[in-house]
């Protein structure tokens, strides 16, 4: 089952990245915008290229980021990169953090901490709670992997 990520969360994250990108681009070209007179084609070109590239990457990120939920694993597709997490490898899910931040926080059996953004309806979160058969409590997790920071 293909699951799209939450549009609100993606827009919020992309908006922060766009503001930081604008600060970087316009900060690097500050000398171009110092002229208080009428702007020429250079200023408008910089603004147009930045706006067009921002819109292009926003649409591309919406179309190329999704989850595929299978019976034994979840496949995360981000642009051309695909990551597979088997439900049997997940040993801990922080339910309190996940519900509060709308991000699934889980730990694999190798001690790797992973974060996944909720899909639109929270189907992936419910599926992980149901299908992860090797879940342990926090104390057991700390005993097995003492260096894990949550």
**Tally of domains in the chain:** 2
Q: Are residues 107 and 58 in the same domain?
A: no
Average pLDDT score over residue span 53-65: 92
Answer yes or no: is 72 within a domain. Answer: no
Q: Are residues 60 and 104 in the same domain?
A: no
Q: Are residues 50 and 95 in the same domain?
A: no
Kindly report which listed range (5-9, 37-41, 114-118, 137-141) carries the lowest average pLDDT score: 37-41
Better-predicted residue by pLDDT, 38 or 140: 140
- In angstroms, the CA 132 to CA 24 distance is 42
Residues in the chain: 150
Q: Whole-model pTM?
A: 0.75
User: Domain range spanning residue 93?
Assistant: 87-144
DSSP state of 119: B
Answer yes or no: is 71 within a domain. Answer: no
Answer yes or no: is 80 within a domain. Answer: no
- Give, in order, the Cα–Cα distances in Å from 108 to each of 45, 47, 115: 47, 44, 11
């Amino acid at each position: 089952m293909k699951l799209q990520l939450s549009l609100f969360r993606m827009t919020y994250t992309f908006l922060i990245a766009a503001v930081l990108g604008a600060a970087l681009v316009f900060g690097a070209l500050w000398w171009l915008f110092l002229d208080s007179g009428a702007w020429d084609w250079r200023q408008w070109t910089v603004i147009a290229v930045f706006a067009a590239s921002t819109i292009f990457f926003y649409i591309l990120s919406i179309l190329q980021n999704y989850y595929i939920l299978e019976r034994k694993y979840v496949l995360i597709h981000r642009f051309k990169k695909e990551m597979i997490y088997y439900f049997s490898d997940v040993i801990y899910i922080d339910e309190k953090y996940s519900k509060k931040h709308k991000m699934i926080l889980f730990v694999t059996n190798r001690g790797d901490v992973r974060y996944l953004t909720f899909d639109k309806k929270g189907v992936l979160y419910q599926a992980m709670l149901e299908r992860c058969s090797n879940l342990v409590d926090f104390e057991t997790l700390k005993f097995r992997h003492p260096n894990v920071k949550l």
